[in-house]
């Protein structure tokens, strides 16, 4: 039994006179509920009505989805209608944090309403007002029910099932998702387009306590504030996922976050955001290539084929594994696999069935890329190829380069004319590009190359280049490819040209990197992934019939890389439209022969000019 002092502090009841209080005192009960406890359940009868003493109660209506109706705070009450009439409760009432109530059974409620006209009028007025407010809210929410259900169906279709992949990264990602499903903080999931940022956000919602409530995906690029207001009202208790949040100003993001009421906010972006200090980073597909076979087989199975392993040749799988998927990561891989299934007519997918890159906009000319391969000082031949293309009026829309191909490609993309190369390259000496160091993982380091490159094009970032350009380096620990297309160009070139065993590995973007020839000797896949419709590849490898015995240690290393990369290069060259192979000997590492190498590049390009123009014409038509 409660004391008079405590009863006098109760909302509503504390306003009664002593006689009325005495008549109901034996019916009063103090209750304490833990967060998440359902005090009343929709469809069940309430044997007590409750007045809230402290804490907050959430009121939900469960239909096709769980809709938040109201929040009740101290002084408000619930369950009175069911308690009085014996009917079922019309909504679920759940504790949002610790809750303390005073409750009374039907007998006490009837007795009090019978004896106290003041209390009866107070209760009736309050009930009418609350029912009116609740009905307004329910009407408002269910007027949008068709929009809500359509959105939920779209989100259900957008889920890809389980996150596929057993790499170390994917196992770690699953652990992070499980951890974040138990938290409520605003979270940002960052990564390139198509890596599965929204998928991860949906998984966090599905594993959370909010799983029964709506989840909405909104697009930051085309966000309409009217749509935002509609969705946040429908999503109360659930989750809002804002894709491409970095497309919005920081102050607008803060305003959007502050407008949410009991709704989880998850952002996706390419880069970290100030609003969300906590984040998950999803690495690009090319940095977890061990997941690619599992993804390919899952896409084939999703298309309705049994035994998916039998429908993918090893050669096609190898080529898919070497493609960087810059434009769309997992989503781009899905498209490549589905289109290959169509071309193979449901039979085994082979290399000719694969089509990479994006479709050209109608009415536009083909985009032409150069894929400039590795080859040490023989890279001067790239200049001869570029010279002939310029003279023929064939545009160069983008360049991908490996090792010396990255060196030449970066300087040309940065604005250096062919004439400057012809004048400077024969005078270049290795001491301008490298310096001796202690023989630890290499005899020299190539940091001087930073100054050499910047002397000609300045300390520019990739986005400042005249022609879009990307380079390839390889991970010094596992040999995997790293695509270099952001940050300082000069530093990326150092990473791409660090010859294994000769030049010390270069630390760049948090990784220890070596010469890109280890992964992509001629980066055709990179050029295609950059958006090229036509790729002209320049392969500087020396045919076995033209090889000479290496004259020194460095030439021996370069020849070894050449031998090891031949098979891998042949697979990738199948993605090129035109392959140019200047006839260059492998013996010298000096730049003194650059003029001869330029001439050989001119010769092979001029001999292939009609084939290049024919191919361009066929692609254009």
- CB count in 10 Å sphere of residue 139: 9
Rounded CA-CA distance 37/306 in Å is: 46
Output the furthest CA–CA distance in the chain (Å, rounded). Answer: 114
Annotation says 347 is catalytic: no
**Token representation of residue 552:** 């020194």
Q: Which entry of 82, 344, 377, 403 is annotated as an active-site residue?
A: 403
Is 447:494 a contact under the CB 8 Å cutoff?
yes
Q: How far is CA 113 from the centre of its chain?
A: 61
Measured CA to CA in angstroms, residue 58 lies from 41, 49, 78, 539 at distances of 12, 16, 11, 68
Alpha helices in 143-279 (DSSP H): 145-158, 168-181, 197-207, 225-234, 250-258
Q: Which entry of 515, 533, 539, 577 is annotated as an active-site residue?
A: 515
What lies within 8 Å, CB to CB, of 47 at 6+ separation is: 83, 105, 106
Annotation says 403 is catalytic: yes
Measured CA to CA in angstroms, residue 532 lies from 415, 527, 576 at distances of 20, 6, 10
Is 133:75 a contact under the CB 8 Å cutoff?
no
Rounded CA-CA distance 308/317 in Å is: 12
What lies within 8 Å, CB to CB, of 361 at 6+ separation is: none
Rounded CA-CA distance 138/559 in Å is: 75
State the SS3 of 544-591: HHHCCCCCCHHHHHHHHHHHHHHHHHHHHHCCCCEEECCCCCCCCCCH
**Sheet strands side by side (includes 187-190):** 215-219, 239-243, 264-269, 187-190, 278-281
Degrees to nearest 5, angle at CA 547 with 544 and 551: 145
Q: List active site positions.
A: 403, 515
């Amino acid at each position: 039994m409660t004391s008079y002092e405590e009863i006098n502090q109760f909302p509503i009841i504390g306003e009664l006179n002593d006689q009325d209080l005495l008549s109901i005192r034996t019916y009063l009960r103090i209750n304490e509920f833990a967060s998440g406890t359902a005090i009343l359940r929709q469809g069940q009868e309430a044997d007590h009505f409750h007045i809230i003493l402290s804490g907050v109660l959430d009121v939900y209506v469960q239909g096709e989805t769980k809709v938040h109706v109201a929040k009740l705070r101290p002084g408000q009450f619930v369950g009175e209608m069911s308690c009085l009439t014996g009917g079922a409760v019309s909504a679920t009432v759940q504790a949002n944090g610790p809750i303390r109530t005073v409750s009374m059974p039907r007998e006490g409620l009837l007795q009090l309403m019978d004896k106290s006209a003041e209390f009866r009028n107070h209760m009736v007025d309050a009930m009418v007002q609350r029912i009116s407010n609740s009905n307004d809210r329910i009407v408002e929410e269910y007027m949008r029910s068709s929009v809500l259900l359509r959105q939920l169906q779209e989100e259900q279709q957008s889920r890809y099932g389980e996150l596929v992949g057993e790499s170390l990264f994917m196992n770690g990602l699953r652990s992070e998702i499980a951890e974040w499903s138990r938290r409520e903080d605003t979270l940002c999931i960052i990564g390139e387009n198509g890596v599965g940022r929204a998928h991860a956000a949906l998984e966090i919602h599905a594993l959370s306590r909010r799983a029964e409530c709506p989840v909405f995906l909104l697009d930051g690029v085309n966000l309409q504030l009217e749509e935002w207001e509609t969705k946040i009202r429908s999503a109360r208790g659930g989750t809002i996922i804002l894709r491409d949040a970095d497309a919005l100003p920081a102050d607008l993001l803060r305003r959007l976050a502050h407008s949410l009421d009991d709704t989880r906010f998850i952002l996706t972006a390419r880069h970290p955001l100030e609003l969300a200090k906590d984040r998950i980073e999803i690495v690009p597909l090319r940095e977890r290539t061990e997941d690619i076979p599992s993804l390919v087989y899952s896409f084939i199975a999703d298309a309705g084929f049994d035994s998916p392993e039998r429908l993918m040749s090893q050669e096609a799988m190898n080529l898919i594994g070497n493609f960087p998927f810059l434009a769309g990561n997992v989503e781009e891989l899905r498209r490549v696999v589905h289109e290959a299934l169509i071309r193979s007519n449901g039979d085994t997918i082979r290399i000719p069935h694969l089509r990479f890159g994006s479709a050209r906009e109608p009415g536009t000319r083909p985009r032409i890329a150069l894929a400039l391969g590795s080859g040490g000082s023989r890279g001067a031949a790239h200049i001869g190829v570029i010279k002939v293309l310029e003279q023929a009026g064939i545009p160069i829309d983008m360049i991908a380069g490996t090792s010396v191909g990255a060196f030449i490609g970066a300087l040309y993309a940065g604005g250096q004319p062919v004439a400057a190369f012809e004048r400077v390259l024969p005078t270049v000496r290795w001491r301008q590009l490298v310096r001796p160091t202690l023989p630890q993982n290499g005899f020299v380091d190539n940091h001087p190359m930073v100054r050499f490159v910047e002397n000609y094009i300045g300390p520019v970032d990739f986005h400042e280049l005249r022609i879009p350009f990307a380079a390839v380096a390889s991970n010094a620990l596992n040999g995997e490819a790293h695509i270099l297309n952001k940050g300082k160009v000069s530093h990326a070139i150092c990473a791409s040209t660090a010859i294994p065993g000769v030049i010390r590995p270069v630390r760049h973007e948090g990784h220890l990197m070596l010469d890109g020839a280890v992964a992509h000797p001629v980066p055709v896949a990179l050029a295609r992934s950059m958006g090229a419709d036509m790729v002209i590849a320049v392969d500087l490898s020396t045919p076995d019939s033209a090889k000479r015995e290496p004259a020194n240690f460095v030439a021996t290393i370069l020849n070894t890389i050449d031998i090891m990369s031949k098979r891998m290069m042949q697979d990738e060259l199948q993605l090129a439209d035109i392959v140019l192979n200047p006839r260059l000997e492998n013996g010298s590492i000096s730049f003194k022969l650059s003029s001869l190498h330029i001439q050989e590049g001119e010769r092979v390009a001029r001999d292939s000019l009609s084939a290049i123009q024919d191919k361009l014409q066929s692609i254009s038509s």
